[in-house]
């Protein structure tokens, strides 16, 4: 009954390192056979050195993905290198050609069909040719603002509209996340960052597309807004200070319309000093659903969990490119 999956970790930035720790903690269920990263500071080192563990693991970080995949023949690759598909889809192709299924944190992969239809088609084709499965997942996108919303509608006969609210206390999260949401910067700096088009959460559009596809709804227009949350108080985190009147974080919200009808509302606030962190899904339907995760889903660890818990899912799924709506409901794996 119990299975052991041979796993390669591809990308060991902060999330990838957390994945490694979790992988190593799931001894009988997962066998870590290789680690890939291009950072010269990490290449050639034993994983234990990177993670500051007492005992060497015998697994050395390599920048040669082809070599690692050929030598180790993993069942599944846990992939955490980039948010953007265009930058790294060749990495996914490489894994597939080596017969490895992939669980990836790439936000754009959670629903690749609209932004990158050609890439999605190629990934699906190559995955099928090689009998493997490729899945993009994570806590958001991939769970909190899409899969959980879909799951909530499972008990509804009618659904008129869905509202998802995620409020995250960034003050409790890792430093990169606090930076990512702009905690402590001025309003002008926020405006400048926003103007680059590379600021804010990645995934609201993907989540809207995922929900719509799951419900077979037509969405012909998506509106997306990014505003600062201005701090009404002085907040000190272990990493930075936010003064009253400065930016505490982001308020990123998106709406999906069919004609004039607003069907989907996704509202994400990630800021330092949030007083009511939570994940909430409200389904206006029959019966209605008012679902809340009190305190919210803690993103740093939850992101890792969705990836690691996806290992048996991609291994068992039919070949091809999949999204979280296509695979059995995600649940914990290797916990005993």
Write out the residues near a copy of itself by the rule CB under 8 A: 1-2, 22, 25, 139, 143-144, 147-148, 150-151, 153-159, 214-218, 258, 285-287, 289-295, 297-298, 301-302, 304-306, 308-309, 318, 324-336
- Residue placing its CB nearer to a copy of itself in the complex, 157 or 196: 157
Question: Where does residue 284 rank: exposed (0-12), middle (13-18), buried (19+ CB within 10 A)?
Answer: middle
Q: Give least dist CB 215 to a copy of itself, A.
A: 6
Residues 329 and 128: their CA atoms lie apart, in Å, by: 22
- Residue placing its CB nearer to a copy of itself in the complex, 217 or 315: 217
Q: How is residue 217 written in tokens?
A: 């709804």
- Residue placing its CB nearer to a copy of itself in the complex, 85 or 139: 139
Q: How many other C-beta atoms can be found within 10 angstroms of the C-beta atom of residue 159?
A: 18
Measuring CA to CA, which residue among 317, 303, 304 is closest to residue 19? Answer: 304
Q: Give least dist CB 156 to a copy of itself, A.
A: 5
Decide if 9 contacts 35 (C-beta within 8 A). Answer: yes
CB-based contacts of 233, cutoff 8 Å, min separation 6: 244, 273
- DSSP helix/strand/coil, 161: strand
- Residue placing its CB nearer to a copy of itself in the complex, 236 or 318: 318
- DSSP helix/strand/coil, 285: strand
Q: What are the φ and ψ backbone dihedral angles of 66, each rounded to 5 degrees?
A: -55, -45
Q: What are the φ and ψ backbone dihedral angles of 14, each rounded to 5 degrees?
A: -55, -45
- Residue placing its CB nearer to a copy of itself in the complex, 68 or 327: 327
- Residue placing its CB nearer to a copy of itself in the complex, 30 or 226: 30
> Which CA distances in Å does 218 have to 255, 263, 269, 286?
13, 10, 26, 20
Q: How many other C-beta atoms can be found within 10 angstroms of the C-beta atom of residue 77?
A: 32
CB-based contacts of 199, cutoff 8 Å, min separation 6: 182, 193, 226
- Residue placing its CB nearer to a copy of itself in the complex, 185 or 211: 211
Q: How is residue 189 written in tokens?
A: 């700096």
Q: Give least dist CB 124 to a copy of itself, A.
A: 17
Q: What are the φ and ψ backbone dihedral angles of 146, each rounded to 5 degrees?
A: -145, -65
Q: Give least dist CB 81 to a copy of itself, A.
A: 21
- Residue placing its CB nearer to a copy of itself in the complex, 218 or 232: 218
Q: Give least dist CB 51 to a copy of itself, A.
A: 15
Q: First CA to last CA across the chain, in angstroms?
A: 13
């Amino acid at each position: 009954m119990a299975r052991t999956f041979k796993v390669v970790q591809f990308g060991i930035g902060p999330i990838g390192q957390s994945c490694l720790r979790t992988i190593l903690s799931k001894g009988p269920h997962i066998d870590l056979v290789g680690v890939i990263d291009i950072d010269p500071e990490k290449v050639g080192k034993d994983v234990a050195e990177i993670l500051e563990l007492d005992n060497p693991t015998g697994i050395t970080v390599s920048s040669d993905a082809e070599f690692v995949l050929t030598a180790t023949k993993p069942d599944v690759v846990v992939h955490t290198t980039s948010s953007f598909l265009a930058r790294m889809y060749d990495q996914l192709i490489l894994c597939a050609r080596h017969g490895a299924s992939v669980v990836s944190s790439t936000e754009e992969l959670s629903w690749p069909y609209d932004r990158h239809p050609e890439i999605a088609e190629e990934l699906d084709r190559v995955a099928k040719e090689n009998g493997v499965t490729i899945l993009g997942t994570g806590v958001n996108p991939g769970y909190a603002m899409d899969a959980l919303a879909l799951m909530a509608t499972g008990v509804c006969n009618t659904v008129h509209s869905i509202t998802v609210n995620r409020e995250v206390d960034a003050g409790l999260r890792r430093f990169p996340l606090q930076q990512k949401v702009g905690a402590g910067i001025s309003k002008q700096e926020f405006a400048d960052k926003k103007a680059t088009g590379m600021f804010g959460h990645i995934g609201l559009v993907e989540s809207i597309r995922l929900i719509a596809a799951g419900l077979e709804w037509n969405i012909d227009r998506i509106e997306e807004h990014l505003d600062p949350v201005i701090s009404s108080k002085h907040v000190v985190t272990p990493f930075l200070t936010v003064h009253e009147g400065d930016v505490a974080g982001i308020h990123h919200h998106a709406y999906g319309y069919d004609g004039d009808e607003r069907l989907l509302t996704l509202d994400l606030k990630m800021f330092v000093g949030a007083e009511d962190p939570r994940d909430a899904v409200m389904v206006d339907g029959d019966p209605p659903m008012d679902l809340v995760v009190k305190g919210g889903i803690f993103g740093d660890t939850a992101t890792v969990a969705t990836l690691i818990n996806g290992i048996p899912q991609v291994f068992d799924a039919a070949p091809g490119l999949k999204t979280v709506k296509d695979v059995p409901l995600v649940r914990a794996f290797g916990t005993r």
